[in-house]
Amino acid sequence: MRKKALLLALMNGLAIALWAQEGDLRLLDWQPKSQLVVKETKVMKPKFPVIDIHNHLGNLDRTQEFLDEMDKAGVWMCVSLDGRSRDDFYKKHLEVSRKIAGDRILVFFAPDFSRIDEPDFGKKEAARLEQAVKMGVRGVKIFKSLGLTVKDKSGKVVPVDDPRIDPIWAKCGELGIPVMIHVSDPKAFHAGPIDKYNERYEELVRHPDWSFYGDAYPSKEEILNQRNRVIARHPNTIFIGAHMGNLPEELGRVAMWLEQYPNFYVDIDARISELGRQPYTARRFMIKYQDRVLFGMDNAPNAENYRGYYRFLETDDEYFDSVPAGRQGRWMIYGLYLPDDVLEKIYNKNALKIFGMYKGG
């Protein structure tokens, strides 16, 4: 009897231990499988040839691999934003891309803001840009470090609308090339600490350096205002707001900017997780501003990732995971089922219109 009681106690203890272990599951390890049964549409190729306006192909050893993935996914052309001015890397990027991909990979020039304190920085960098364009560069890329972490010799963060940069913006307008401008990050990376109220908690726990909350950084609002002052000051220059104008969480405000600034466009890269959780609003936005939205992915060319974007844009599928297209946040997304004429503009026509503004030979 005693042995039986002891055995029962041990079994109960084991059950409690197992329950406690399962109850202590970390949110970071939780990967629930949805039991919802809904339609799943495979979109192997897009309805129209794609121009990916926003990608990073600076790993030149993988250029052939990138091209092969583009072919698998029906991507006609891809823009690499990695044509760094520093150390003249853009020259090597142009050389390798042309040799392997011909005119299917376009390179954008990224100014070297580490030289911001040099006399006549803006004029000198604008001259370097002009030379780069003669060699084949077709745009400028501004990384999010401007306005956020780039500092001059005074120790102050260099604002996006710093007058020392004006010659570069003006030169882009003169040459008829666009500026792909990424300023600030998702609202959750700026708006609060990494705590239980932050909707991007999981990502920020894994990457605490992605948080720009606190007095050490300018506010997201101020950085966006700096960008908008630049757009207003240079009406002859085309600006493409990366990541849905860097405010996909507030499409109403992005719409306001599109109304206010005729030289402002947006791309969808790396933000279908945000757009797909508000499908009605996003669909109305895409249709209304169909002439101002461009396709981009921001992940190295991969056929499966591209297909995730096609499914999002082309189908009315419900409650599906944006992974492998690149999930941000713990939620599922819904397809926009855009009309064909809108799809064609987003996939390639709007990009062709912008590239057609080039004033070179």
Tokens of 315: 């189908």
Q: Report all structural domains of the chain as residue ranges with CATH numbers, in order of start.
A: 49-302+339-355 (3.20.20.140)
Ranges of beta strands (E only) in the chain are: 50-55, 75-84, 105-110, 140-142, 179-181, 239-241, 264-267, 293-294
Q: What pLDDT sits at residue 272? A: 96
Listed as ranges, residues in the chain with pLDDT below 50 are 9, 14-20
Question: What is the model's pLDDT at position 27?
Answer: 76
Residue 345 has a pLDDT of 98
Closest CA relative to residue 169, chosen from 231, 226, 110, 118: 231
Q: What is the DSSP string of 86-150?
A: GGGHHHHHHHHHHHHHTTSEEEEEE--GGGTTSTTHHHHHHHHHHHHHHHT---EEE-TTTTTT-
Whole-prediction pTM: 0.92
Cα separation, 281 vs 268, in Å, equals: 14
Cα–Cα distance between 87 and 95 in angstroms, integer? Answer: 15
Helices 251-260 and 279-288, axial angle in degrees (round to 10): 10
Chain centre to alpha carbon of residue 121: 28
Gap between the Cα atoms of 101 and 10, Å rounded: 67
Q: What phi, psi does 155 have (nearest 5°)?
A: 90, 0
Q: What is the pLDDT of residues 68-104, one digit of tens each?
A: 999 999 999 999 999 999 999 999 999 999 999 999 9
CA angle 337–338–341, rounded 5-degree value = 145
